[in-house]
Amino acid sequence: MNKKIVSLVLLLAVITTTITLILQRQDEGQSTQMPGLGSQGTISSSEFLNAEKAVEHYRELIRKHPDDVNNYVQLAQLYLQQGRLTGNNAEYLPKAAALLDAALEHSAETSEIVITKATIAATLHHFREAKELASKAIAMNPHTAFYYGLLCDANVELGNYDEAVRACDKMVSIRPDLRSYSRVSYLRELHGDIDGAIHAMTMAAEAGVTGQENRAWVLYNLGMLFLNQNKVDSAEYIFKGILQERNGYAHALRGLAKVQGMKGRYKESIEYYKQAIAALNEPAFHEGLGEVYQYLGNFSEMRTCYDNAEELYHEEQEMGENNSLEMAEFFASHNRNVEEALTLAQKAIMERKSVHGYYVLALALFKNGKHDEAWTSIQQAMKLGTKDASMLYLAGAIADKVGNAEQSKHFLTRALTVNPNFSFLYAADAKQILEKHKTFGSL
């Protein structure tokens, strides 16, 4: 056999083994236990004050030692964290970028400068740039786990899943911790291994520090894994536990809003959404609240919520965020501007060839009556075997429109098996289409 062919075969074997290790559950035969939840009390305000003190500390160091570039980088990274905590990226991202430019006036480019630039690019959803910068940082310093994490994230968003798995594997091998385990979890979720995803996210939570934002975020994602499988009580336990550790955490409040909605407690759901919005003014929170009002037939409040969400999406665009995919999904999901949704989805898929990107494109095509094209796109969205009820519903709805009743029944049944309460907007439609198939199938 040709030596080049032998080398290629060996390389493919290594790649296959790596992918298997990341995607294979490490707890075969074991049941997933819930993470331990503590009681930390109100921490976010003190954390913010500590961060402000740290900001002043590095500002003072920069004044005293203007040639020490590490101080610029540390302050830039603090600003990025402040943007994440407050949701005010419009203020903090430009400050971080300016500090990196100032650092380059005193020093040649370092791997920390490059990876901080990559973090800014990823925050703004410029994932191709983030991938290039993360790769550059790794070439300069191949022994830092976080660099591979950012490379993994960028490749996931670009649809380069084998590359994402390899980056994640390297990250875990360097430092098995909250950040690496949480990425393992997401990759398993994308590949349809929900039990494995829950196990890895539980490991991530256990590796975190009680009350810290990154542990709260991991716990929120763990709760959502349960909620998306209709394990509502488990999700509620986790979301309430987060609030015990980190009072007022916006994403946990949003999680509880979803829980209450799925339990039919709409007044409580609305209140939790309002609390979440007061804590963090995210467009997705306004969307969720609008969907509750839409379900209840309160169309005036619904329109206000959707208007607020759209305004926030436009504000993100104005600060340089590439949110075409998110806006496309928002428009298409709520029949708000389906023509613009398709334009945005087609623009987004040129770069973000992820399963989610193809799902949004399929949704936009479907809402514009382009059912054959939507069917092609949804096949791409399901190529990893992701067990997402909304995705399965859309596949079933599209199959119905293209005249494939058997496929429609198959996907809709799977969607409702995964989560019969997956959406205020679409769960009832899934049941209606299935009922239609049963009625006509019996004639």
pLDDT tens for the chain, 443 residues: list them: 444 434 433 433 444 444 445 666 444 334 456 676 665 554 455 566 678 889 999 999 999 999 999 999 999 999 999 999 889 999 999 999 999 999 999 999 999 999 999 999 999 999 999 999 999 999 999 999 999 999 999 999 999 999 999 999 999 999 999 999 999 999 999 999 999 999 999 999 999 999 999 999 999 999 999 999 999 999 999 999 999 999 999 999 999 999 999 999 999 999 999 999 999 999 999 999 999 999 999 999 999 999 999 999 999 999 999 999 999 999 999 999 999 999 999 999 999 999 999 999 999 999 999 999 999 999 999 999 999 999 999 999 999 999 999 999 999 999 999 999 999 889 999 999 999 998 876 44
The reported pLDDT for the residue numbered 109 is: 96
The structural domains of the chain, ordered by start, are: 176-273 (1.25.40.10)
- 235, 224 in Cβ contact below 8 A? yes
The reported pLDDT for the residue numbered 378 is: 99
Q: Alpha-carbon distance 69 to 56, whole Å?
A: 16
Q: Alpha-carbon distance 215 to 178, whole Å?
A: 8
Rounded CA Rg of the chain: 23
Q: Alpha-carbon distance 392 to 400, whole Å?
A: 12
288 contacts: CB under 8 Å, gap ≥ 6: 254, 257, 258, 273
The reported pLDDT for the residue numbered 298 is: 98
pLDDT digits (tens, 9 = 90+) for 8-29: 334 334 444 444 456 664 443 3
pLDDT digits (tens, 9 = 90+) for 86-115: 899 999 999 999 999 999 999 999 999 999
